[in-house]
């Protein structure tokens, strides 16, 4: 079993050390995990920081990246004899103005995988309960879909990312604002998104965090997962999006059951940004 979306306390909205996440993963019977600390990129927000030994450091600094890489690799060396492999990942929040938003050392870092996500529309976090409505109030549901999936397409075409994280993130708070219409806005865009994913070898994740928020569907929801399968997207991972050790592995059994239900037989793990398939547990 694997959990490929974990935020240790390098992420400013998370708590718990890398060591504590690893220990919880072993207790939960996981064989592989990936740490994917947030790398926020929009400097007009207050989110472009990480925590390093109690200090808040700009995400554009090389300092945190060196420390983070070293600590994750040390954890892999420490815990692999206990049956747990620990992968080095990062979650980069895509914005159109990406030039200069990443640390200089980013491209020299030997990541195992890079998650791509879109949290912002008009520089407003649609994933934040206190900000999402401000973005949604500007658009009808179809207009929101156009904005969101245009950004997602741009993200894919950068060729920076291996996996799209929580592909329908707008649904977290969008259902409250738009109602059931929010479940339809992906339909005009998915074919174009899939074509780009195939061209640039980008997969997607089943993100189980909505299941902890009393929602019945992970991200993306089952109808989108089914459509991705029918369009021939094969590379898929599962991640809890845990921001504390207590949530490591949460919902991964439900996610694997969903994948099987729609016809997937394999899941993928990553090493040095190479996708390697294995049977779904």
81, pLDDT greater than 90: yes
Q: Note the pLDDT of residue 99.
A: 80
Residue 7 sits in which domain range?
2-279
CA-nearest of 50, 193, 46, 38 to 123 is: 46
Q: Note the pLDDT of residue 265.
A: 97
**More confident: 98 or 245:** 245
DSSP-derived letter for residue 264 is: -
Tokens representing residue 231 in the block = 């369009």
Counting the structural domains of the chain, the total is 1
Task: Please compute Rg for the chain using Cα positions.
Answer: 18
Query: pLDDT tens digits for 173-219?
Result: 999 999 999 999 999 999 999 999 999 999 999 999 999 988 999 99
107, pLDDT greater than 90: yes
Task: Give the pLDDT band (50/70/90) at residue 100.
Answer: confident
CA-nearest of 73, 120, 55 to 94 is: 120
Q: Note the pLDDT of residue 252.
A: 97
DSSP E strands in the chain: the ranges are: 2-6, 32-39, 49-52, 55-58, 85-93, 113-117, 120-121, 124-125, 163-164, 203-207, 236-239, 266-271, 274-279
Contact between 171 and 145 (Cβ < 8 Å): no
* DSSP states along 214-243: T-SS-BS-HHHHHHHHHTT---EEEE--BS
89, pLDDT greater than 90: yes
CA distance 62 to 75: 20
CA distance 169 to 209: 10
Query: pLDDT tens digits for 130-152?
Result: 899 999 999 999 999 999 999 99
CA-nearest of 276, 258, 256 to 268 is: 276
Q: Note the pLDDT of residue 9.
A: 97
Task: Give the pLDDT band (50/70/90) at residue 46.
Answer: confident
Stretch 118-127: mean pLDDT? 95
- Contacts of residue 179, defined as CB under 8 A and 6 or more positions apart, other chains included, come to none
Q: What is the mean pLDDT of the chain?
A: 96
Query: pLDDT tens digits for 237-281?
Result: 999 999 999 999 999 999 999 999 999 999 999 999 999 999 998
Tokens representing residue 137 in the block = 């109030």
* Residue in the block written with tokens 């991640």: 239
CA distance 279 to 271: 17
* Residue in the block written with tokens 């009393």: 214
CATH number, domain of 61, equals 3.20.20.140
44, pLDDT greater than 90: no
């Amino acid at each position: 079993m694997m959990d490929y979306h974990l935020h240790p306390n390098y992420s400013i909205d998370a708590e718990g050390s890398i060591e504590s996440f690893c220990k919880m993963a072993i207790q939960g019977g996981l064989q592989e995990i990936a740490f994917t600390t947030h790398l926020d990129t929009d400097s007009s927000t207050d989110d472009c920081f990480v925590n390093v030994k109690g200090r808040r450091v700009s995400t554009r600094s090389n300092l945190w990246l060196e420390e983070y890489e070293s600590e994750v690799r040390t954890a892999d060396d420490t815990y692999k004899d206990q049956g747990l492999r620990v992968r080095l990942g990062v979650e980069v929040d895509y914005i159109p103005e990406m030039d200069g938003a990443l640390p200089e050392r980013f491209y020299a870092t030997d990541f195992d995988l890079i998650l791509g996500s879109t949290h912002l529309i008009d520089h407003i976090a649609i994933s934040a309960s206190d900000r999402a409505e401000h973005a949604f109030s500007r658009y009808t549901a179809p207009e929101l879909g156009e904005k969101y999936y245009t950004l997602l397409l741009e993200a894919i075409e950068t060729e920076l990312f291996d996996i799209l994280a929580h592909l329908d993130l707008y649904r977290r708070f969008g259902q409250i604002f738009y109602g059931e219409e929010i479940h339809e806005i992906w339909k005009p865009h998915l074919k174009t998104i899939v074509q780009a994913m195939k061209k640039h070898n980008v997969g997607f994740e089943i993100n189980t965090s909505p299941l902890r928020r009393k929602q019945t569907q992970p991200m993306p929801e089952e109808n989108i997962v089914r459509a991705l399968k029918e369009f021939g997207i094969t590379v898929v991972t599962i991640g809890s999006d845990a921001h504390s050790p207590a949530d490591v592995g949460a919902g991964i059994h439900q996610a694997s059951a969903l994948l099987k239900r729609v016809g997937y037989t394999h899941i993928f793990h990553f090493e040095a940004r190479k996708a390697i398939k294995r049977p779904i547990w």
